[in-house]
Amino acid sequence: MITRADVEELDRADPLRSFRGRFAGVDDDLIYLDGNSLGRLPVASADRLHEVVHSQWAHGLVRSWESWISWPRSIGDLLGSTLLGAAGGQVVISDSTSVNLYKLAAAALDLRPGRTTIVTDAGNFPTDRYILAGLASARGLRVVEIEDASLADVTAALSDDVALVSLSHVDYRSGALSPMAEITAAAHDAGALALWDLCHSAGSVPISLDACDVDFAVGCTYKYLNAGPGAPAFLYVRNDLQAAAQQPIWGWFGQQAQFEMGAVYSPVESIERFLVGSPPILGIALVEAGVKLLGEAGIERLRAKGIALTSLLINLADAWLAPLGFEVASPRSDAHRGSHVSLRHGDAYRISQALIEHQVVPDFRRPDLVRLGCSPLTTSYADVYEGMRRLRDIVSSGRHLDIELPERRVT
């Protein structure tokens, strides 16, 4: 059985150990296992924000737009080359994940006229399913929800009527990692396009959008990329699709000769056609700071530590928590798991609240999952060990039973 001395040795030998001190608050007693929902604040991000506000906005004023206006693409290129396996000119920072998903899904459907089916999975993130359902309703199409985002389930759902396959790369509940290359190839073989949601993989799992021949992708930046609450999202459109793909929100930042203020919308043929309105400069600056930090660490090292942390968590769950009624609800295979682990228990809500009272921050997912994120740059092996120890002690002592269940509304 692994001991506290073992995890302390793992931390001493961790090649990413020095990065932990470059985030605010990591020396607190708080054990933060929710970086896959909101990443910690990099110290460099606060410095970067101060620079943009005080040096550029305060003194450069409107003249600062001379550099700012290129940031959605230039920082998108940085993100693409560093973490997404995307060559330049295919990624922009823009809007929210939900808005970007709508834009790209609509564009994809227009590229496959006459096809009436969208394929997603029943466990996909709710906003993804809502947006796809809304598009289908507006266009008289249908959505087929498969059970799992697996190659077998996707292949079984494909036909010459499928226009779009839209899935999450890493399942937001279980942490299951889908085979991007194989599913994209299967969609293409059926004549369909593939749209991937990278929210739970960008910054924690190596991604090869170009090599996988992905058509479209979206993702957020406030999780593993540590860009902060409400940070702008990103989108990817493969080079050869950009001129033909027309997004539905016609904004002036996608317009040719933008500052001529023409009366008729005529979009540029490049990735900028997927921009809409004025970019959120302060948020984009924080995306840049987070991406640079992760790029310095290296995605392969981040992935290796993510696997090691989640493997440790699963081993401790088997030893300590299985006798207490817990079940590991995430893939046990390293190759098929992202950087978080979900534990199933009938009292998951009260357990999650009790953990927070004992300075461990998890995430609760209805109806019965305690989700524990292992953000490679900020989570230590000792964090995992101590968090699991506190979890074991809370449940074995029954302290979670003191938590009141929320009132359920009757409608």
Instruction: Say which amino acid occupies 237.
Output: V
Check if the beta carbon of residue 11 is closer than 8 Å to that of residue 2: no
Instruction: Say which amino acid occupies 105.
Output: A
List residues with catalytic annotation. 125, 197, 222-223, 371
Give the SS3 label for residue 250: coil
Closest CA to 153 of 127, 175, 123, 193: 123
Instruction: Say which amino acid occupies 146.
Output: I
Closest CA to 305 of 236, 381, 220: 381
Check if the beta carbon of residue 363 is closer than 8 Å to that of residue 313: no
Whether residue 323 is preceded by a cis peptide bond, meaning omega within 30 degrees of 0, is: no
Closest CA to 219 of 338, 81, 83, 340: 83
Check if the beta carbon of residue 141 is closer than 8 Å to that of residue 109: yes
Instruction: Say which amino acid occupies 312.
Output: L
Q: CA torsion sign, 275 to 280 to 282 to 286?
A: negative
Buried b (16+ CB within 10 A) or exposed e, 151-188: eebbeebbeebbbbbbbbbbbbbbbbbbbbeebbebbe
Would you give the distance in Å from CA 402 to the centre of its chain?
34
Which residues does 20 contact at the CB level (< 8 Å), separation at least 6?
Answer: 26, 377, 378, 380
CA–CA distance, 397 with 401 (Å, rounded to integer): 9
SS (H, E, C) 261-312: CCCCCCECCCHHHHCCCCCCHHHHHHHHHHHHHHHHHCHHHHHHHHHHHHHH
| 22, burial (CB in 10 Å: exposed 0-12, middle 13-18, buried 19+) | middle
